[in-house]
Chains A and B, each alone.
Chain A
Amino acid sequence: MTDPPLDPRERSSVIRDSLGVGIATGAYGVSFGAVSVASGLTVWQTCALSLLVFTGASQFALVGVVAAGGAPLSGALTALLLGTRNTLYGLRLAPLLAWRGVRRVLAAHVLIDESTAMSVTRESREAARLGFLVTGVSIFVLWNAATLAGAVAGNALGDPRRYGLDAAVGAAFLALLWPRLHRRRNQLVAVAAAAVALGTVPIVPAGVPVLAAAGVALVAGLLTKEPEQ
C-alpha cells in the first residue's frame, strides 16, 4: 500500500460521500428512540444504548426482545450475537487503518456497518482512515441527537399501539435484513430461522425463540461449503 498525501479532489469526494451516508444513517436514530421508549425503556436507558452500545441492529434487538416480553438479559445476549459481525469488520479493517494505542481504542467505538463500508473499499491508508472517521463520527453525533428526539417524542405520544409503533419494530428488523437476502443460502436461513422462532414461541420463555434461531446459522455454516462472497 502506498502512502502519499491525498489529493484535494479525492479528499473532498471521500468527505462528501461519507457525510451523505452519515446523515442518512444518523437520521434513523429517531425510529430507534421512538421504538425504544415504546418498548418500555426510559429516555435515559434509550440514550445510554445509543451512546454506549452504538451499533443499530444490536440496539433494536435488545429493545425488541424486551418489547416481546423477554428477559432483558436474553435481549442483551441477542444484541451481543448480532454485535459479532463488527469483530469481522475489525479484522478486515485492522491492516488498512493500522491504528495503535489510544487511537485504536477510540476508533473501535465507531466501528459499525457503515464506517466499514465507507473505508474498506479505499485504495490508500489515508483515504480509508478519512472515510472511516467522517462516516463514524457523523453517524455517532446524529444518531445520538436523533435518538434523544425520538425518545422524547415517543414518550409524549402515549400508547404506542395507537400509532402502530409495535408494527414499526418488525419493519425495522426487516429493513436491516433486506440487503442480506440477495443470496439464496441467506434466504433459506432466514425462512428456517423464522420457522424455528415461531415454532418455539408457544413452549419456551419470551426472548428464547430468537436465540434458538441463532442455532440455524450455526447448522447452516457447518453444512454449507461455498466460499465467502
Chain B
Amino acid sequence: MMWTAVLVTAVGCYLLKLAGLSVPPRVLERPLVERVADLIPVALLSALVAVQVFARGHEIVLDARALGLGAAVVLLLLRAPFLVVVFGAAVVAAGVRLL
C-alpha cells in the first residue's frame, strides 16, 4: 500500500510538472484557476500543521507538540533557517517530555 502511494505520488507529481511546461498557457491560465492553485498550498499546509500538532487519532489534544510549535513560531519570527526551526521544535518537545 505504501509503495503504491509512493509511486502514484511520483508519477502524478512528475506529470503535473511536465504539464506546466507543455500545455498551451491559454488552457490553464485563467484567474480562477490561478487563485485556487495559489490558495491550495496555504490551505493544505495550514491543515497539516493543525492535524500534526493537535490531533491524536480522533481526539484534539494539547501536548508537548504544541510547545514545539510555539518554539517554531518564535524561531520563524527571528528569521531562523528552516533546519533550525524544525529541529528547534523537536528539541523543545523532547525537553518538555523529559520534565
Q: Is there an interface contact between B10 and A49, defined as CB atoms closer than 8 Å?
A: yes
Q: Is there an interface contact between B89 and A164, defined as CB atoms closer than 8 Å?
A: yes
Q: How far is the CA of A213 from the CA of B73 in the complex (A)?
A: 22
Q: Is there an interface contact between A201 and B58, defined as CB atoms closer than 8 Å?
A: yes
In the complex, how many residue pairs between chain A and chain B have their CB atoms under 8 Å apart?
Answer: 323
Q: Which of B60-90 contact A (CB under 8 A)?
A: 60, 64-65, 67-69, 71-73, 76, 81-83, 85-90
Which residues from B are CB-within-8-Å of A73?
1, 4-5, 8
Contact among A89, A165, A167, A210 with B69 in the assembled complex (CB-CB below 8 Å): A167
Contact with B along A55-85 (1 / 0, CB 8 A): 1011011101111110111011011111111
**Given A41-B2, A194-B50, residue A94 in contact with residue B72 (CB < 8 A):** no
Q: Is there an interface contact between A53 and B13, defined as CB atoms closer than 8 Å?
A: yes
**Given A53-B9, A76-B9, residue A85 in contact with residue B42 (CB < 8 A):** no
Q: How far is the CA of A108 from the CA of B13 in the complex (A)?
A: 10
Q: Does B19 contact A (CB under 8 A)?
A: yes
Q: Which of A175-229 contact B (CB under 8 A)?
A: 175-178, 180-181, 185-186, 189-198, 201-203, 206, 209-210, 212-214, 216-218, 220-222, 224, 227-228
**Given A90-B20, A91-B29, A197-B50, residue A163 in contact with residue B5 (CB < 8 A):** no
Q: Does A52 contact B (CB under 8 A)?
A: yes
Which residues from B are CB-within-8-Å of A147?
none
Q: How far is the CA of A37 from the CA of B89 in the complex (A)?
A: 18
Q: Is there an interface contact between A76 and B5, defined as CB atoms closer than 8 Å?
A: yes
A-B contact pairs, 20 of them (CB 8 A): A45-B2, A53-B9, A60-B48, A71-B1, A72-B5, A78-B48, A111-B20, A164-B94, A170-B52, A171-B72, A177-B45, A193-B42, A196-B47, A197-B47, A198-B55, A206-B55, A213-B44, A217-B43, A218-B36, A228-B34
